[in-house]
Amino acid sequence: MDKFGLYVPQLLPFKEHFLPQAHSACMGCGVALGVRQVYKALEEERDWMKKASWEIPWKQPLPGSFIKSKKEEKEAIRPALLNIEKQSQASLLICFDNEAIEGKPTPTVFKKWIPAVAVARGFHYVATACPSYPFDLIDKVRRGMESEGSSYIHVLSPCPVGWDFDSEFTVNIGRYAVECAIFPLYEVVTGGYRLTIDHPKLRPVEQYIRMQNRFKHFKQKDILEIQAEVDRNYAKLRKGEI
């Protein structure tokens, strides 16, 4: 059976229903890849979702999303938020996180971990996913649609422009982020944590950080601090204590 695992993509529906192929995202965009996989998962729900007059109920945040600072105009690529209504009153929220911030990233400030906020707020199903693991993402979207209450999925989507790497590494970098546990893949069903992909031997964080030019100014000391923080968080997550 292991030999045929490679052929799993052929089990997915081949028709492209929702993603407008002529979208104006950059080449190698992680958000476009994530949205495409989400809609592959929602293939069966197509009939009642088609009632919206737009073929794809999704706002493209990329062109013309500007944040004006006081001194000069700066461009920031914002994360997209996809809100899919279920048949009940609840909804499925999917955030495509491209880790965009204004200015240079600093090693001492970590990003707000929105899945933890969603768990504390009482969402029935919370999960993190990455388009580098497409079948994991598709499973989670389907499970989020099936759960009774509201559900939230946080998708890491690498951004070649914002993170400053070559566009062919989009999928590769997402895989590195999961393998060095800086972005762990887990799901929370009514308070119980479960890691969906757990590598026994983790990569050092340095490999992930040195792949991207946005972290070019980080020093060795900063990376050691990040490594310590990541290890602490991941040890908690393995015990299910977060």
Instruction: Say how many residues touch another protein, by CB under 8 A.
Output: 36
Nearer to another protein, 35 or 153 (CB): 35
Q: Which of 68-76, 168-176, 179-187, 225-233 is the region at the interface with another protein (rule: CB under 8 A)?
A: 168-176
Among residues 117, 128, 225, which one has the least CA distance to residue 183? 128
Structure tokens at 35: 């949205």
Among residues 28, 149, 6, 192, which one has the least CA distance to residue 98? 28
Q: Which of 26-34, 61-69, 74-82, 193-201 is the region at the interface with another protein (rule: CB under 8 A)?
A: 26-34
Nearer to another protein, 165 or 183 (CB): 165
Strand order in the sheet with 91-97: 80-85, 91-97, 151-156, 125-129, 186-189, 192-195
Q: How near is the Cβ of 76 to another protein at its closest, in Å?
A: 21
Does position 56 interact with another protein (CB under 8 A)? The reply is yes
Candidates 48, 50, 54, 197; binder of another protein (CB under 8 A) is 54
User: Interaction with another protein in 85-144: which residues (CB under 8 A)?
Assistant: 131, 134
Q: List contacts with another protein (CB under 8 A).
A: 6-7, 9-10, 12, 14, 16, 19-23, 25-30, 32-33, 36-37, 53-56, 131, 134, 160, 166-172
